[in-house]
Every structure is written in structure tokens, then in C-alpha cells.
Amino acid sequence: MSSVEDLDRHFREEVAGPRSAARTAGPAPTDGAAGSGARAASTSAASRPLGGALDARTALDLFDAQLESRHTDAAARWMQQQGRGYYTIGSSGHEGNAAVALALRPTDPALLHYRSGAFYCARARQAGGVDAVTDMLLGVAAGADEPIAGGRHKVYGRRELAVIPQTSTISSHLPRAVGVAWSIARAKRLGTECAWPGDAVVCCSFGDASVNHSTAAGAINSACHAAYQGLPMPVLFVCEDNGLGISVPTPHDWVRHTYGNRPGLAYFAADGCDPSAAFDAACEAVAHVRKRRQPAFLHLSMVRFLGHAGSDAEAAYRMPTEVAADLRRDPLLATARLLTAAGVLTQQQVLERYDEVGGRVFAVAKEALDSEPLTNATEIAAPIAPRRPDLVAAAARRTSEPPALPAPVGEPVTVAQAITHTLADLLGSYPEMVVFGEDVGRKGGVYGLTRGLQRRFGTARVFDTLLDEQAILGLALGAGLSGLLPVAEIQYLAYLHNAEDQLRGEAATLQFFSQGQYRNPLVVRIAGYGYQRGFGGHFHNDNALGVLRDIPGLVIASPSRPDDAAAVLRTCVAAGKADGTVSAFLEPIALYHTRDLHTEGDNAWLAAYPPPAEHVPIGRARTYGTGADLTVVTFGNGLPISLRAARRLELQGIECRVVDLRWLAPLPVEDLLREARATGRVLVVDETRRTGGVSEGVVTALVDAGFTGAIRRVTSADSFIPLGEAAQLVLVSEADVERAASEMLSAGPQA
């Protein structure tokens, strides 16, 4: 494995011969060097062409960015040795990506691979006023003053640089990048403000191993799918190919074979270790995307130095000859040779420049050692989910004048009708709102909930997507980030699990990793739960919510009644607008078209459609009845089940109050505790599973709040839901509720 010392020694020897290696006893100088001769030479030769598109001034900027990135990697490992460096995945060997940054504009949004350090340094030089080295090393030290994540993670990001912070999940940022690219033209078409210039190019970089991940394959496919239909898709996919996925080699020529002849995807390739070739290819690729508004794939061959990260011992899986071959391709050496061959710098000036940058980087590293870390949990979690109920209420009261569609205020509606009318009201109130998903356009959704919306609001605002949940959510994430207000539909809860990381790893983390500087407001409508009759099986009757309930900051709405469905949906959209909230809006399929509650024809499950300004604050429950014997806590399909059971229990002399949670995250703890204390007995009716179900959170919330009364729960079984009548054998039933309630009352107050 090449070490920091190896890279330093090799660079010096190759630039000026073996004697230069003796000038340093460490990986880099610890204080600044003059380098005045290098600066003078660079000024006099600034306009000199070096071949291709690269001139001397640009080459010097590229070299300086490469030097900053290389020395920052060395400093990060030195900081780790001092006990204050927490991130050692570096960019050494990938410094050719600086050429991509210089081919772009500083206003072009960039979503960067974790080895794109030189890109970030070059972008900072382009924009001016930003010290990339300080940003990166404060991130390494987890310093609270780091400008994007504030010490929460080491990410590349700056709002002033249009660099959007990303996590390190493999290629998870590509669907969002496609969504950002799509949003540029769509915002203009809708006449709404966009975060990016109208001719911007969206750049996203990733490694060669990532091209094999379903997320990357799906994102690139969705970009090609959009371009095939003539939709503007100005996204540049940059594959930084070093031939390794940690220790697993990428088959020779696999990336080119896979993406080199993809219809609708222009392919550009170059040696990323050759600054002139990399810059020429990057300029050509960027010009193609900017002019044609179509996607392109830029394939840059790289090398990887210093292993995957600080703990990676390459000797376990690489031959010394392979490491030596990579050293001969060092991109810093290639740029130095280009500059000396053209007479822009002398060999001595190259070394002076190298030392000058190294001294400055290590001076910053010393300062970063003393940076203040985050000091308390409240401070750490603050950006995740800001809650400003007054602003949300104000946004929820926003209505169109005149109403977008004649809303049947006061008229009885079903859950499905309430959602349809509310979507229409919201589309009329928010011109930046878009509604999309599989089948939501002409068909109007699998269950008809979006029927008529496309005809009324047009295909630019209500439209179908390809059948790929990752692509749907990525489109939403990019749209929200760019200034639109997306309401995406996932057809069934079971289908969400294909793409759940887009919510967990991307949507929910954006405000956390940017201290709220970036946000992606989003409402995901999800048809779910069980109890469908005549249709279903597991994939259409899924009751697994555990995967959603532990995502920090994610709001989970679960209305059951028509009036609540309307009011809660308004709140979710308003919270997205006001606070950048990400909401999962769970719709109980079995209740969509339900009209009756107790007897056929009673119409007791219909409700008056509420006025457009009416909403339900996040985390507020609804109570039915005032019974003093038992508090039944439930949600979703559990509400009609519990209400029917409560009526029969009343005939047995047991008076119940039924609490509909309406919000599963955050739970309505205040309302829950009040209603629990009113009776001293709580029965939780949970249609999700016993293990990992909602009832676990409810019971824990009560105990944590100091409730000392009796608690019991009835749940569905820890099973997938089978087809047909067998489903009733694993789902919680009215008989389960009645039996548990009777047993609690017969056992006394502490049962």
C-alpha cells in the first residue's frame, strides 16, 4: 500500500530527482514556504495555451486544487494520529476530478462522490471567497464551525458553491441528481422560482463499483427514459473509475461496456490522470449537456492511493507491482510535467508551490485540532426536523382564489373523495406543487384518487412516472431541493421498501447534513395496511411500518376518517412548505370507499368535507367518546374496528373512549397521556405487527411519561399477510379487542 510518505517521496524524486526527497522528514512541511518564483512565473505565462482546451492559467488553478486536495488527505491522517481526525477516506489519485469542476460553472449544482476533494477545491477557487481546505479539515475534525454539516459528518457541501452535501451510501445521490436536473426546466415551465440557473448542468460523481448498484442503474435509466421522451435532462454522470470497489476489482473495460453504447446517453471517456485529456473530455461532455439538455456519462480512469481508508491494508489484496504502476500514473506528477514542459513553471517552482500549499494546509490542520466539537444532543439534532406550528398553520390556511375546483365543503365524502378534493385544493393554492407517480395521470391512480387532476391542472403538474420507486422518490427529492413542492405516490406500502433508503439516507438527512441550508420538502402518499377483501396478498396488504418509524425527523401521518384525511394532508403539504418537512402520508386502502360503520347503509363513515383552510397540527390525536372505564388507542383500520367493538362493549356495561392517533411520528404524547389518565386503563389496538409495530412506541411513550395505570395491547401477528380469507387469521379483529377489554376490566384497575 502506498503511504503518505511514499507519495511525497515519489513526487519529489520524479519532479527534481532523488536529492529533493531528503528535503522533507514528513509527509508535508509544517509551515508555509515562499513560492514567490512560482507565483511570478504563473502570472507571466497565464495565457499560454498548453494544448487542447487547457491554458496555463486554468492548468495552474487545476494544479493548486490538486495540491490542496492531496495535502488535505495527508493532514487528515496526521490529525487522526493526534486524536482529532475522524475521517480518512481520501481523494489521493482522483485529483483529476478538478478538471471537471473547472469545465463547469460554479452555479452548476454538484452532488459529489467522497473522493471528489479536488473538485471541491477547484470549485471554491472558481467561485472565490471560500477556503476549501478549512472546510474539509473542519469536517475531518468534526468541528461545530464547519460551514455545511456543522461537525455532524464529513461531507462536501456549500450553498455558495452549489455543492449539495451527500452521505456515503453507494450511489444513493444519483436519483436526487436526476430529480434536480428534471426540475430546472419544469420550474421554468410552471413559472415558479428555481434554485438553479435555467441553463445549469447538474453534476454527480461516483465510483466504478457504484455503477453496479441498483440505485445507480435505476437513476441512469430514469434519466435516459426522460430524455427518450424529449424531456430536458441536463445531468452529467461522472464515473471516477479507479478499478476497485474497496478490495474487489472492477472487470477490465466493464464500465465502458455497460455505459459506452447506451441509447440516449452520450458517452465521453478520458484518462483522469492526464490533466489535458481530462479537461478536454469534461469540457466536451459539459458542452453537450448544456446545449442539448440531455444526459451524458463522463468516464474518467483514475488511480487510488492510500487504500480505501485509513484502516484498509491493501497488502491483503493488491500486489506491489500494481501499487507501483499506480504511482507512475500520479495525476499530480502529470500536471507538474505538463506545466514544466510548457515552461509555465520550473521544476524548482513546482516544488516550491507544492511546499507552499502543504505548509498552508498543515497550518489549517493545526487550527482544526482546536476547533470546538458539538457539545449536546439537542444541538446535534436541531436541524433534523424544525417544527414551527404557527408558520405551518399559516401555510395551511393558504387557499386559491377562486377555488381551483368546486370543493364540496360540508358535503359528506369518503376518504378517497376527501383526498382527491384536497389535492385539487392544494394544487390550486400552491403553483409550485406537482403530483406524480405510477398511474396517477390519465388513469387517475390505482384507486382513482387522482382522477381528473391532470385534466384540470395539466401534464406539467400531474403526471405519470416510470415504475421505479427509487426514481419516483429521487425525482421528488430533486424537485423539493430545487424549489418545487412534490407530492409523490407510491402505489403500495410493500413497494416502498424497494426504495426506503431514499427516505432514510437522503431525504431525512439533508437538513441534518446542511444545518437546514438545504432542504427537500416532500409528501409521499402511500396506499397501505390490510383488510382489503377480494384482492391483496402480501404485496397489496402490507402492515410493516417499522422501517419508517425509526427515521429521525420523518413525519408519519395516518388518517382514518375522511375529514381527517383532508385536514392532515393539508398539514403535511404546509409543513413541507414552511419547514421543509418530509412526510409519509399513509392511506388505508380498505377505508378508501367505505361509507358505513355499524350497519349497512348507515353512512357513518362518511364525513363532511372540511373548509380548505382547516388542518390538524402535527402530533395531535382525536378522541371519540367520554367513557370512564377504558381508553382504547388505535389508528388506521383499527379506528373503525375499535369503534364497533366499543359499541358492543357498552352493551356489556363497559364505557370506552377511543383515541385515534392520526400521527404515528411524532406520536401525540400529550393527548395520549391525558386520555390514558382519564380512565387509568389503556388498550392499544395495533393492526401492524406485534414485533416492531406501532404499539411498542405507544406503550413506551406512556411509560416514559410516567403513566402508572394498566396497559395492554392487541396486535396483528408477526406474519406476512396471506391471500384471501386467511388474512383474517393474522390481522387484529373486533373479537380480539372485545376479549382484551373484558379481561382488563374483570381483572381490576391494575390489570
Kindly give the interhelix angle for 56-81 and 4-16, rounded to the nearest 10 degrees: 150
CA distance 476 to 485: 8
| Residue 173, φ and ψ in degrees, nearest 5 | -85, -10
Is residue 240 within 8 A of residue 95, CB to CB? The reply is no
Interacting residues of 640 by C-beta distance below 8 A, sequence separation 6+: 560, 591, 594, 597, 605
Residue with cell 444532543: 377
Is residue 727 within 8 A of residue 541, CB to CB? The reply is yes
Judged by phi (left if over 0) then psi (alpha if -120 to 50, else beta), residue 623 lies in: beta
Buried b (16+ CB within 10 A) or exposed e, 109-137: bbbbbbbbbbbbbbbbbbbeebebbbbbb
Q: What is the distance, to the nearest Å, from the Cα of residue 133 to the centroid of all Cα atoms in its chain?
A: 25
- Strands 110-111 and 202-207 come out as parallel
- The number of residues in the chain equals 751
CA distance 7 to 39: 24
The closest alpha carbon to 334, from 32, 113, 119, 50, belongs to 50
CA distance 72 to 141: 12
Interacting residues of 535 by C-beta distance below 8 A, sequence separation 6+: none
Beta bridge pairs of residue 624 = 658
Largest CA distance in the chain: 98
Indicate if 173 belongs to the active site.
no
Is residue 736 within 8 A of residue 684, CB to CB? The reply is no
CA distance 264 to 225: 8
Which member of 173, 540, 593, 615 is catalytic?
540
Beta bridge pairs of residue 607 = 413
| Residue 4, φ and ψ in degrees, nearest 5 | -60, -45
Buried b (16+ CB within 10 A) or exposed e, 88-106: bbbbbbbbbbbbbbbbbbb
Half-sphere CA count of 716, side-chain side, radius 13 A: 31
CA distance 692 to 670: 22
Interacting residues of 288 by C-beta distance below 8 A, sequence separation 6+: 266, 268, 294, 296
CA distance 385 to 519: 10
CA distance 171 to 113: 8
Rg over alpha carbons for the chain, rounded to the nearest Å, is 29
Please give the full DSSP string across 24-79, using - where no structure is assigned: -SSSS-SS----HHHHHHHHHTTT-B-STT-BHHHHHHHHHHHHHHHHHHHHHHHH
- Strands 248-249 and 244-245 come out as antiparallel
Name the 3-class secondary structure at 391.
helix
Which sequence positions are flagged as catalytic?
540
